[in-house]
Structure 1
């Protein structure tokens, strides 16, 4: 099972590398380089996390910290360097937040509580984390609101009076 995880990790990392290269090539003659920039941030995050030893005492906590640092980096990038955030930015924040949540949950469940029996949260972790990574990579390529996250954001902003 660990070998399969390694292959999936490599596939996801390559998707982020290809997303960066694709966005870099398509942004050459465009003034807006935001997709290439956030693709670069994701590529660096995912490739650097591969250097982490998976057999450490707290692998899920380390992955949680990687995602938290990546979220902070994206937020700082958005605050200082961009006015109009691309659609992919919102998907990255939501996807990384979900991943950070399940990584922290797995750390708490397996290390703090010492639980080693499968339950529904482990299934959510296994399927949700992979799905989240795939959606983030795909949205970096197409930059479209495929799940309707921006529609929900606009609806909630209007409903709560936040602009």
Structure 2
């Protein structure tokens, strides 16, 4: 039996935006409920909600094959805005920030590869990467929402980053 992933992807975007809204509200609640809570998860979740909501509306306005390059641009701009907001607000980098940056980078890479495949090489024949793209984008988006809600370093990306840069961990994982 054939299972069409395209209709699932359309509805999954709505679920992701709803999840980002819940993450934003949850982090807003925690900001007032927990004394020593970093503002970073709240800022990241609000910016992600704004970015994903805006890019979701652009799909209807610019329906076409170049939509993948538009989504890649949105992800790059979102990463820059998040980093700029942390710089301007002097927020410390938390595990939430690392996970979202990793997820947005991965999504950008997938968008660019699919754009090159469909627009530049004009490939119209189905191949395995299209299914990988659909599952990969949705999985990464889901894990970013989970990370924004729970705020834990469950893959130890923060520790790996600290080890890679040979710095003392700047993240206090207990109040992220």
Question: 1:87-139, CA deviations, whole angstroms, 9 ceiling, x for partnerless residues?
Answer: 10001111000001100111110011011223333233122111111111111
Residues 1:139 and 2:143 aligned together: no
Corresponding position: 1:112 with 2:120: yes
| Residue 16 (structure 2) aligns with | 12
Matches of 1:46 and 1:83, distance apart in 2: 22
Partners of 1:22 and 1:83 in 2: CA distance: 19
Change (3 A) 1:123 1:3: closer
Check if 1:52 corresponds to 2:53.
no
Give, in whole Å, the separation in 1 of the partners of 2:8 and 2:144.
Answer: 20
The 5-angstrom pairing of residues 1-163 of structure 1 reads 1=4, 2-29=6-33, 30=35, 32-54=38-60, 55-158=63-166
Cα distance between partner residues in 2 of 1:105 and 1:11: 25
| Structure 1 residues 116 and 9: CA distance shift in structure 2, 3 A | same
- Contact 2:40–2:86 under 8 Å retained in 1: no
**Higher RCO, Cα 8 Å, sep 6+:** 2
Distance in 2, Cα, partners of 1:6 & 1:124: 16
Whole-angstrom distance in 2 between the partners of 1:151 and 1:111: 39
RMSD, aligned CA: 1.9
Task: Give 3-state SS (helix, strand or coil) of 2:114's partner.
Answer: helix
TM-score scaled by structure 1? 0.89
Structure 1 residue runs without a partner (length 5+): none
